[in-house]
């Protein structure tokens, strides 16, 4: 019965708006939304027929009594300077000048809050999950990503030929960013930006692996619970199977048995429901109702509850994504359509799937455990469910297949 191939739940749903876009983080220089003019600082642009900008700038500085900062000769001709208000009109009417622009503050890489983080109210929390270890059992994590690196405390590989938990696919880095991207001035921010990440590579560069490699990851996590304070594990992966609701002891399921033992030792597992638009009871680990929190995907376009956002490729705003699995084993939903997060090689990307929903819940679990130390995995599940947004309280379900609530990260 063992299906040797583990596929990630996700990659089929790559991107809605024009494919994956990967940007070099250090190449992003973005003006802040509210750019403030600097008093008395201006950029003077000469007419195109000015031949020697340096000479003209020097002459204008002498005539108008200006203090010049930079002279421009190539992209534009002109200069920047401090120009007292009383002299501004004379500078503007100088025969060499085409126009004068205000100088403004520019900040590199303003941080964007992804819609999913807004949708579950994970912004402005005083509880940021400080010190809670979250294992990302996936393709690895970009270990040097500027928006992740400071939170990564350990890594391990269960993939043959790979010595570290470095991500050679992108999927695991995306998951990691939703959980715990840094709350700094760049990139994105996670649900629990002070939680600590443990990169456990069990899937190869194509995003596939085996039951044995996944169990290897679970085994390593369980052996290192104390060392890294691992309280949560995210598994945005799955394959065919079913649950005996007896930790695999009745149907010889080693994966199930491993997760049960790890959960009993103190790790809360958040797992993806799967993307087959079918009952999650035929996908594992989603089906393991006795030991995991299973997460479905919500379509949200505007980061707000209430269904007022524009329609998505996988359903109207604040309804469940058309691809999401469903059924009695599903515990809770989270945003999973067009989620923007970190990617390998220092990048960022926007992708969809229950893989993207799951880390919202893993991050929320870290917050819950931070404020409720010693909780068992089922207490975490119940706590998240009771704090969540109920059906018709901000989202609807036209399919009739999704009674589960939507995770909320405030008040945890």
Q: Is 382 in the site for Ca ion (CB under 5 A)?
A: no
**Full DSSP string of 109-150:** SPPP--HHHHHTT-TT-S---TT-EEEEEES-B-TT-TTTGG
The catalytic residue among 208, 236, 355, 375 is 355
Alpha carbons 237 and 239: distance in angstroms, whole number: 7
The 237-240 sheet, strands edge to edge: 208-209, 6-8, 237-240, 283-284
The residue within the footprint of Ca ion, chosen from 167, 300, 389, 404 (CB under 5 A), is 300
Shortest distance, CB of residue 103 to Ca ion, whole angstroms? 27
Q: Is 279 in the site for Ca ion (CB under 5 A)?
A: no
Q: Is 309 in the site for Ca ion (CB under 5 A)?
A: yes
Alpha carbons 278 and 292: distance in angstroms, whole number: 19
Alpha carbons 154 and 135: distance in angstroms, whole number: 9
Q: Which is nearer to Ca ion, 77 or 174 (CB)?
A: 174
Shortest distance, CB of residue 279 to Ca ion, whole angstroms? 12
Q: Is 70 a catalytic site residue? A: no
Shortest distance, CB of residue 330 to Ca ion, whole angstroms? 6
Cβ neighbours of 198 (radius 10 Å): 28
Shortest distance, CB of residue 247 to Ca ion, whole angstroms? 14
Binding span for Ca ion by CB under 5 A among 124-132, 257-265, 299-307, 403-411: 299-307
Taking phi over 0 as left and psi of -120 to 50 as alpha, with beta for the rest, 235 belongs to: beta
Query: 145: number of CA atoms within 13 Å, CB side?
Result: 38
Q: Is 315 in the site for Ca ion (CB under 5 A)?
A: no
Shortest distance, CB of residue 309 to Ca ion, whole angstroms? 4
Alpha carbons 407 and 89: distance in angstroms, whole number: 58
Shortest distance, CB of residue 336 to Ca ion, whole angstroms? 13
Q: Which is nearer to Ca ion, 46 or 340 (CB)?
A: 340
Q: Is 404 in the site for Ca ion (CB under 5 A)?
A: no
Q: Is 329 in the site for Ca ion (CB under 5 A)?
A: yes
Residues 378 and 204 sit within 8 Å (Cβ to Cβ): no
Q: Is 397 a catalytic site residue? A: no
CA distances for 259 relative to 147, 247, 356, angstroms? 30, 8, 21
Q: Is 171 a catalytic site residue? A: yes
Alpha carbons 402 and 412: distance in angstroms, whole number: 23
> What sign has the CA pseudo-torsion 330, 331, 336, 339?
negative
Phi, psi torsion values for 211, nearest 5 degrees: -55, -40
Binding span for Ca ion by CB under 5 A among 64-72, 233-241, 318-326, 354-362: 318-326
Q: Which is nearer to Ca ion, 91 or 330 (CB)?
A: 330
Q: Is 317 in the site for Ca ion (CB under 5 A)?
A: yes
Please report, as residue ranges, which positions from 167 to 196 form the binding site for Ca ion (by CB under 5 A).
181-182, 184, 187, 189
Q: Is 147 in the site for Ca ion (CB under 5 A)?
A: yes
Joined tokens for residue 349? 């990307």
Taking only Cα atoms into account, the Rg of the chain, rounded to an integer number of angstroms, comes to 26
Q: Is 253 in the site for Ca ion (CB under 5 A)?
A: no
The residue within the footprint of Ca ion, chosen from 302, 313, 379, 401 (CB under 5 A), is 302
Residues 262 and 214 sit within 8 Å (Cβ to Cβ): no
Binding span for Ca ion by CB under 5 A among 37-45, 127-135, 269-277, 293-301: 293-301
Give the interface size with Ca ion as a residue count (CB under 5 A): 17
The residue within the footprint of Ca ion, chosen from 103, 168, 318, 389 (CB under 5 A), is 318
The catalytic residue among 96, 109, 147, 171 is 171
Three-state secondary structure call for residue 380: helix
Q: Which is nearer to Ca ion, 222 or 305 (CB)?
A: 305
Q: Which is nearer to Ca ion, 120 or 329 (CB)?
A: 329
State the catalytic residues: 138, 171, 355
**What is the contact surface with Ca ion in residues (CB under 5 A)?**
111, 147, 181-182, 184, 187, 189, 289, 294, 300, 302, 304, 309, 317-318, 329, 331
């Amino acid at each position: 019965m063992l299906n040797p191939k583990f596929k990630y739940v996700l990659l089929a749903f790559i991107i809605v708006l024009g494919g994956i876009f990967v940007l070099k983080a250090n190449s992003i220089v973005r003006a802040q939304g509210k750019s403030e003019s600097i008093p008395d600082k201006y950029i003077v642009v000469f007419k195109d027929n000015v031949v020697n900008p340096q000479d003209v700038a020097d002459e204008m500085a002498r005539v108008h009594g200006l203090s010049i900062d930079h002279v421009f000769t190539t992209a534009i001709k002109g200069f920047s300077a401090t120009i007292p208000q009383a002299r501004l009109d004379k500078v503007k009417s100088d025969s060499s000048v085409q126009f004068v622009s205000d100088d403004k503050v520019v900040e590199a890489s303003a941080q964007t809050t992804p819609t999913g983080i807004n949708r579950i109210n994970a912004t402005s929390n005083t509880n940021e999950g400080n010190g809670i270890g979250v294992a990302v059992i996936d393709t690895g994590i970009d270990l040097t990503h500027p928006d992740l690196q400071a939170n990564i405390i350990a890594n391990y590989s269960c993939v043959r030929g790979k010595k570290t938990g470095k991500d050679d696919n992108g999927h695991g880095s995306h998951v990691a960013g939703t959980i715990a991207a840094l709350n700094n001035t760049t990139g994105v921010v996670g649900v629990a930006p002070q939680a600590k990440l443990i990169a456990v590579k069990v899937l190869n560069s194509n995003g596939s692996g085996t039951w044995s490699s996944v169990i290897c990851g679970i085994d390593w996590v369980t052996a290192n619970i104390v060392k890294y304070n691992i309280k949560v594990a995210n598994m945005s992966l799955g394959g065919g199977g079913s649950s005996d609701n007896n930790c695999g002891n009745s149907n010889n399921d080693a994966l199930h048995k491993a997760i049960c033992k790890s959960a009993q030792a103190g790790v809360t597992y958040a797992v993806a429901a799967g993307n087959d638009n079918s009952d999650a009871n035929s996908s594992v680990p989603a089906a393991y109702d006795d030991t995991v929190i299973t997460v479905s995907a919500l379509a949200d376009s505007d980061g707000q509850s209430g269904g007022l956002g524009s329609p998505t490729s996988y359903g109207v705003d604040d309804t469940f994504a058309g691809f999401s699995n469903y059924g009695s084993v599903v515990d809770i939903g989270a945003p999973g359509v067009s989620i923007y997060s970190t990617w390998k090689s220092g990048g960022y990307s926007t992708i969809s799937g229950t893989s993207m929903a799951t880390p919202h819940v893993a991050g929320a679990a870290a917050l819950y455990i931070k404020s409720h130390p010693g909780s068992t995995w089922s207490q975490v599940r119940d706590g998240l469910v009771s704090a969540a947004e109920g059906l018709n309280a901000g989202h609807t379900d036209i399919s009739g297949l999704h009674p589960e609530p939507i995770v909320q990260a405030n008040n945890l």
